[in-house]
Amino acid sequence: MTEHADIPAGAPPRCGFRWMAQHSQVTAYVLFALGAVALLLPVTCGWFWGWNWPFLWWGGVTAVILVIAAIWELLHVPGDEAAEVLHARLTVLAVGGLFGLVTALLGVFLSGLWWTEYILPWLRPDGEGKEAWRLMLAALALFGGLAVMFASLQLSRGQERTNPLLRRLLYGYNAVLTGLLLLFVLTVLNLLAYVRLSHALDFTASSIYTLSSRSVNILENLDKPVTVYVLLEPGSTLYTEVQTLLDNCRQYSQRIQVKTISLDLSRAEAVELQKKHPNLEPGLLVVYGTEPEVGSKLIKQSELYVHDFSRRPGERESFKFKGEDLLMGALAELSEGGAKPIIYATQGNGEYDLNDTTTSRPNQGLGIFKERLEKRNYEVKPLTFLPGQSKIPDDAAIVLIAGITRPLPDDAVKALREYLNPSDPNKKKGKLFLLTGLTLGPDGNPVSTGLEELLSGYGVQLKNERIFSIPTPGSFIRSPSMCAAQVNQTLRNPIAEAFRDRVFALFRARPVQASSPVGASASSYVAETLLEVPGFESRPFNQLVFTDTNFRRDAFEAAQEVSLLLRDNPDEFKRRISSQAISVGVIVSESKTDPNDPHAFMRRGTSQRPLLAVFGDAAMVTNQLMSAEGGYYYFDLLASTLDWLRERTGSIGIQPKDRTFFVVEPTVPYWKTVLIPPALVLLGIVGLGAGVWIVRRR
């Protein structure tokens, strides 16, 4: 093929397109050479570093595009100068556009190929990025391809106003490129927002997508690495919920790693895992620690949810997701080394029955509380004091006394005294949790617990008074024997911090005050108010409370008498109504610092050993209240107090609630709800682009 005769050979070219028009044969040879390079480059890299089909595909398609363009140049019949320049523009537009599109698609393919293993860990705030060059290469291919498409579009401008064919190509090309850029921007922004936001945003009324405070405490206090193997079928509702839960967990702890293992146990990774854990089955495998000190616990798939089979005909099917509670329980158990701390609950002195789970009557049974404690990795055993055999077992982590109605015998009090403060200095001091209301004897007077003298030595005073309230409009208090309580808002304690915004209804409560300890070791004990009934001055619950020592009248008579004072004697009414908070719960710690150290108060928060807790309401631990709506808050408070006594502050907080899911029976075909909306969106975009194209081509 010869040079064009109608273009003077010695005339200097005014643009690249004019040069291409003058040297079409050279252009064809250059395109052939570039096609060979495009094909040989991925083949050479594959020979030395391993074959990768996306690169071979990219090289092959690029080579075909360049070879076709070269043949197009060789077979082109020369024309006048304007036609040759137009031909050059179309060649640049076609080659640049197709090459840029193929390169951009290569970036998309590489992103999908490397997303899970390389790109996603690199993007996550808590992930460990490895082989970052893969992310850079995918981004370079994607952005580079789009840049080449844009550049070829700009270089081909100049004759769109005079040439209808070029104008149609340019505007149609521009519409496609703009749509691709918009799709890319929206996709990238959404992906970055998904993987880089440090915390999930939960706008639900009940915060069902937010981890509970206890879960957060457990995660933030992990002292060893944790690997969670997900052995579930991808795509299911249960798998999605588990992934959401684990993503939320990783936001609070960098020690958690998540690995998804195929249910096909014939694969190498699954086989290797099954060698270490022979009883492997679908569910979650939690591995705690590093070799050789490793603990593991399997949460079966059937345990992660509970179906509701009690629905009546016509009602929606539902199931409860229990994954968060089970996962946190597994972490707490593994952090304990697999051992369960033992709580001994005293029996035989009028305490609530440990084996009673009935909920028909109030002030009855401790069985539901026991069951929930066992799910929280505790072991609960009865403790009966026999004459001459009163001794606290050596494996007792905590002694629980709930609802005592008869005085403890002297031998039992002596055993508790020795348990709390052993005479043997090498023996560890015990922990006591007492819940006691005001019990009236046959004569109408309060019954002693037998522990008053013992408690006074630790700065705890049980008051022989009853707390009554006067129900007011707008208050949830419905009975004079009921009052609303909250944690001490000024107390610096993990229990108070976890439950600062919670309200607890107490029934037939008695005041429990923190006083000055009495005894030789009094200076080392610190008694503080944990739970209190707000007085008239704060009045956060719109309640009026007072204490009464006349035990021969019931609550309604006492409340009516005080209410009448508001009309007959307002000054006496103000005197009878408590203006200050009434303490109903006291915790006692022992200072670990030297009492003669003048700076000991500066280390008070970290230098105390929990010893005992005393609550003035025993009903909050009973079956009826434990099973009532909102009863889990009482359990959370009581269980957190036990955790505090054991110095396991990482487990303190409100435990996760079961999430209920409803399966809605579809009334519209699946394809209409899934395929039609995206199809309409795509049709709208194409229609708008076509409309712009038609208008602009005129």
pLDDT confidence of residue 108: 80
pLDDT confidence of residue 13: 41
DSSP string, 352-401: PPTT----SSSS--SHHHHHHHHHTT-EEEEEE--TT-----TTEEEEEE
How large a percentage of the chain has pLDDT more than 70?
Answer: 75
Same structural domain for residues 83 and 191?
yes
26 domain-assigned: yes
Which of 23-27, 259-263, 426-430, 638-642 has the largest mean confidence? 638-642
Average pLDDT over residues 178-194: 68
Enclosing domain of residue 182 = 16-196
pLDDT confidence of residue 613: 95
79 domain-assigned: yes
Same structural domain for residues 217 and 189?
no
pLDDT confidence of residue 419: 93
Same structural domain for residues 52 and 115?
yes
Instruction: Please say if the pLDDT value at position 12 is more than 80.
Output: no
Same structural domain for residues 185 and 240?
no
Same structural domain for residues 149 and 220?
no
Average pLDDT over residues 599-608: 52
Same structural domain for residues 293 and 175?
no
487 domain-assigned: no
Indicate the residue type of 664: V
58 domain-assigned: yes
Same structural domain for residues 180 and 225?
no
Same structural domain for residues 158 and 292?
no
Question: What are residue 384's phi and psi, to 5 degrees?
Answer: -115, 130
Domain final residue pick, 281, 305, 325: 325
Range of lowest pLDDT (255-259, 312-316, 374-378, 432-436): 312-316
pLDDT confidence of residue 49: 59
CA torsion 517-521-524-530 (nearest 10°) is -30
CA torsion 470-472-478-484 (nearest 10°) is -70
Range of lowest pLDDT (28-32, 573-577, 674-678): 674-678
Same structural domain for residues 129 and 251?
no
Range of lowest pLDDT (343-347, 433-437, 665-669): 665-669
Same structural domain for residues 187 and 218?
no
Domain final residue pick, 292, 310, 325: 325
Return mean pLDDT, the chain. Answer: 78
pLDDT confidence of residue 223: 84
Which of 104-118, 314-328, 383-397, 648-662 has the largest mean confidence? 383-397
* Model pLDDT for residues 43-89, shown as the tens digit of each residue: 777 666 566 667 777 888 888 888 888 888 777 777 777 777 777 77
Average pLDDT over residues 410-418: 92
419 domain-assigned: no
- Work out the angle at residue 525's Cα, subtended by the Cα atoms of residues 610 and 489, and round it to the nearest 5 degrees: 65
Same structural domain for residues 179 and 270?
no
pLDDT confidence of residue 10: 40
Domain final residue pick, 325, 342, 372: 325
CB 353 within 8 A of CB 622: no
> In angstroms, rounded to a whole number, what is the distance separating the alpha carbons of residues 325 and 319?
15
Average pLDDT over residues 31-45: 79
Instruction: Please say if the pLDDT value at position 528 is more than 90.
Output: yes
How large a percentage of the chain has pLDDT more than 90?
Answer: 17
pLDDT confidence of residue 117: 66
CB 687 within 8 A of CB 166: no
Average pLDDT over residues 418-433: 90
Instruction: Please say if the pLDDT value at position 113 is more than 50.
Output: yes
Instruction: Please say if the pLDDT value at position 7 is more than 50.
Output: no
Average pLDDT over residues 388-397: 86
Range of lowest pLDDT (322-331, 413-422, 485-494, 530-539): 530-539
* Model pLDDT for residues 198-228, shown as the tens digit of each residue: 455 554 444 556 788 888 888 888 888 898 9
> In angstroms, rounded to a whole number, what is the distance separating the alpha carbons of residues 450 and 455?
10
pLDDT confidence of residue 638: 93
Tokens of 698: 């005129």
CA torsion 89-95-100-106 (nearest 10°) is 170
Higher pLDDT, 359 or 89: 359
Same structural domain for residues 45 and 180?
yes
CATH code assigned at 244: 3.40.30
Question: What are residue 255's phi and psi, to 5 degrees?
Answer: -85, -10
Which of 93, 102, 91 lies closest to 169 in space, CA to CA?
93
pLDDT confidence of residue 5: 39
pLDDT confidence of residue 605: 45
pLDDT confidence of residue 215: 84
Q: Is the link from the previous residue into 292 a cis peptide, with omega within 30 of 0?
A: yes
pLDDT confidence of residue 1: 40
Average pLDDT over residues 93-111: 83
629 domain-assigned: no
Average pLDDT over residues 282-292: 86
259 domain-assigned: yes
pLDDT confidence of residue 26: 79
- Total structural domains within the chain: 3
pLDDT confidence of residue 59: 80
Average pLDDT over residues 15-38: 76
pLDDT confidence of residue 487: 93
Average pLDDT over residues 418-425: 89
Question: What are residue 380's phi and psi, to 5 degrees?
Answer: -110, 125
pLDDT confidence of residue 8: 43
pLDDT confidence of residue 681: 75
DSSP string, 324-358: HHHHHHHHHHHHTTTPPPEEEEEESSSPPPTT---
350 domain-assigned: no
